[in-house]
Chains A and B, each alone.
Chain A
Amino acid sequence: EAGVAQSPRYKIIEKRQSVAFWCNPISGHATLYWYQQILGQGPKLLIQFQNNGVVDDSQLPKDRFSAERLKGVDSTLKIQPAKLEDSAVYLCASSLSRNEQFFGPGTRLTVL
């Protein structure tokens, strides 16, 4: 079974630029999550999709972050414009029902 795929693995941008991350979940997993993990901290949920609908985006900074999952499969997370404090690893995960989540390798974002 293929795992959760994410790209790119690394991204370096300057502040005020835009960036997008892509995630392809495990086939058949209806629930998809985006997390932000700042160095030394645990993952923080940004947004959760159930198929192509948003279940929870209460911690997503909506003035600069957006995410979509149009066909209920893969998803993109965008930051526009980026700030220095957005430097983090962005993790995508998927799950089947209420079972454990499977994580992708993450995208390490550095904002200069």
Chain B
Amino acid sequence: AQSVAQPEDQVNVAEGNPLTVKCTYSVSGNPYLFWYVQYPNRGLQFLLKYITGDNLVKGSYGFEAEFNKSQTSFHLKKPSALVSDSALYFCAVRDIPGTGNQFYFGTGTSLTVIP
């Protein structure tokens, strides 16, 4: 069964420091992986995705994520955190091609960037 796990409910980081939000996945085949961000009272916004190719994926707002097949991880990173990055972050995996288009979302990680 396809699933995704976000082991940390809360991450705190000082402004200007690098940040990492962790995600691990479990899929039957090659994964399609995504990161979304949710600001208060807003819908989810797409940040970046990994389909194939380079393991380091760059996305919106200076975020990037590294696909690691051996560790089945897709951690979200940013070199220098901003206070405005404080939000809820969701990792998602799409099931293998040909079996449907369902997304599986993690439980979310609340990121707080401290000024």
Contact A42/B101 with A100-B49, A103-B45 known, Cβ cut-off 8 Å: no
- 0 or 1 for each of B34-63: is its CB under 8 Å from A? (1 = yes): 101000011111100100000000000000
Q: Is the CB of B46 within 8 A of A42?
A: no
Q: Is the CB of A45 within 8 A of B90?
A: no
Q: Which of the candidate stretches B13-21, B70-78, B104-112 sits at the interface with the other chain?
A: B104-112
- 0 or 1 for each of A33-62: is its CB under 8 Å from B? (1 = yes): 100000011111100101000011000000
Q: Is A22 an interface residue (CB 8 A)?
A: no
Residues in chain B near residue A101, CB distance under 8 A: 44, 46, 103
In the bound complex, what is the Cα–Cα distance between A105 and B42 (angstroms)?
Answer: 5
Q: Classify the interface of chain A: helix, strand, loop or mixed.
A: strand
B: contact size bracket: 20 to 34
Q: Is A98 an interface residue (CB 8 A)?
A: yes
In the bound complex, what is the Cα–Cα distance between A106 and B39 (angstroms)?
Answer: 12
In the bound complex, what is the Cα–Cα distance between A42 and B36 (angstroms)?
Answer: 11
A residues 75-112 touching B (CB-CB < 8 Å) = 91, 93, 95, 98-106, 108
Q: Is the CB of B106 within 8 A of A42?
A: yes
CB of A110, distance to nearest CB on chain B (Å):
14
Q: Is A24 an interface residue (CB 8 A)?
A: no
Residue of A nearest to B42 (CB): A105
- Interface set of B (CB-CB < 8 Å, partner A): 32, 34, 36, 41-46, 49, 90, 94, 97, 100-103, 105-108
- 5 A-B residue pairs with Cβ-Cβ distance under 8 Å, sorted by A, are A41-B107, A43-B90, A48-B101, A55-B101, A100-B34
Give 18 new A-B contacts, CB below 8 A, not counting A101-B103, A105-B42: A31-B101, A42-B90, A42-B108, A43-B90, A45-B102, A48-B101, A55-B100, A56-B102, A91-B43, A91-B44, A93-B43, A98-B94, A98-B97, A100-B46, A100-B49, A102-B46, A105-B41, A106-B43
